[in-house]
Structure 1
């Protein structure tokens, strides 16, 4: 196992009230999610309202904290069901703040997320979308066994330009052949 694949460096957990400043940062700091994920300034109150409504955990979409062993939040991991019937396909995403990137945190969090979905849902397929220029994310997905399945040309608007988005997929039988 390479250092980038070590899941003992981070864990996933539900957001708590004490994490609200971290969630605020995602709306107010252009560098927090990185050049490929920054959607523009947002209202931090919207994130707080979502946390108050459901703690970021619902049947429609879920977001949890990526935390270090000392419980410091270093990122966000998300999943949402896609397609019909619900519960067969999930789209995942991971964002790590700059000071914790390039340390294997994102790959470890994605592995934990894939394991969680395969252990606790009926997921047969897990998808991830990534900006065509995000080579680090593409490598992380490929390390976990995801395959690039397609390109959605000009799907995203970023920094004044339309950019391609790559579709990656992973099937249960590819990740866990013995349990398929």
Structure 2
């Protein structure tokens, strides 16, 4: 019986998915053609992979779900160098029980294609490789609009054999599937700000461990849950005003802080914020900034001014501050040296 496509969704992996994850990731017949993945042999391996890779970097491994139960994965692996950020590799796989029901992977790829070029910065090309013997995968790629671009002979040494691969590509300017935003992007009609809790660590890693989020932050991407725990326990807990941005279910999807100056500069504070990439483009950052400003001017009576310092190339964050009522005050050239590069900074300010 054909599966109703409305039962299929895409979401980030959770630790509780480990048993379902093993149904396909522990099956040699599923993993034999996967370019970057060996067969998992234990639930512990699966838990570590979900914790260390899937949760910190959700686009690298998203769960294909049937009735919210994980039955496979789809990954988007973007180039890390500036010259390669324009393109990303796509991979996917589903549990053997669902083979022959091509509409599952077709639906999953349509959901991804409807969102990926909007949500992954700088991406203009998505490419996928299919083994010459894997006719089913070739048909699935063609169904959603990928174009076969060529045959790469003896291209990949995969699991003991040199393989010929077909390369497929699709561009952001091509005709792309249109899916309801709710299929991938969670709703967050209202938000709240609250102090962080230690139990927030896994949610915290969802954005603090994502290079796409931290590329405009002055701090480095978190790669370890233990480091995140230390930050929550020792830094955030002692910070004058550092809050979790939460959705309707009280789960953090980002962070926002205001740091007052020291001594005579105490009347001036600096604002900073970060939002999980899944929630970009929904106005959440603007709501959070407005709410934060309202709170800090009430709670810190000594504050007269809050300023935002934004990288000149970060146009999205500049729009957030402007929508929240901040006034653009100037450009500071080569003001910060961050992550190996001198940065031009745009200064925004708002007054009590």
Higher relative contact order (CA 8 A, sep 6+): 1
Provide the TM-score with structure 1 as the length reference.
Answer: 0.77
Q: What does residue range 55-70 of structure 1 map to in structure 2 within 5 Å?
A: 56-58=236-238, 61-70=240-249
Structure 2 gaps of 5+ residues are 1-187
Which has the larger displacement, 84-93 or 118-127? Answer: 84-93
Q: What does residue range 13-162 of structure 1 map to in structure 2 within 5 Å?
A: 13-31=194-212, 33-37=213-217, 39-42=219-222, 44-53=225-234, 56-58=236-238, 61-85=240-264, 87-122=266-301, 123-157=303-337, 161-162=341-342
Which has the larger displacement, 17-26 or 39-48? Answer: 39-48
Structure 1 residues 159 and 90: CA distance shift in structure 2, 3 A: closer
| Displacement after TM superposition at 1:67 (Å) | 0.4
Provide the TM-score with structure 2 as the length reference.
Answer: 0.42
**Computing the radius of gyration over CA atoms, which structure comes out larger, 1 or 2?**
2
In the alignment of these two chains, the number of paired residues is 163
Question: Aligned to 1:9, what secondary structure does the other structure show?
Answer: coil
Question: Aligned to 1:145, what secondary structure does the other structure show?
Answer: coil
C-alpha deviations, 1:93-134, integer Å up to 9, x for none?
Answer: 111110001101000000010000111112110111111011
Question: Aligned to 2:264, what secondary structure does the other structure show?
Answer: coil
Q: CA RMSD in A?
A: 2.5
**Alpha-carbon separation, structure 1, partners of 2:266 and 2:344:** 27
Structure 1 residues 144 and 25: CA distance shift in structure 2, 3 A: closer
Q: Is the 8 A contact 2:275 2:285 kept in 1?
A: yes
1:3 maps to none
C-alpha deviations, 1:113-164, integer Å up to 9, x for none?
Answer: 0000111112110111111011121112112221122222123456764321
Structure 1 residues 25 and 68: CA distance shift in structure 2, 3 A: closer
Which has the larger displacement, 119-128 or 77-86? Answer: 77-86
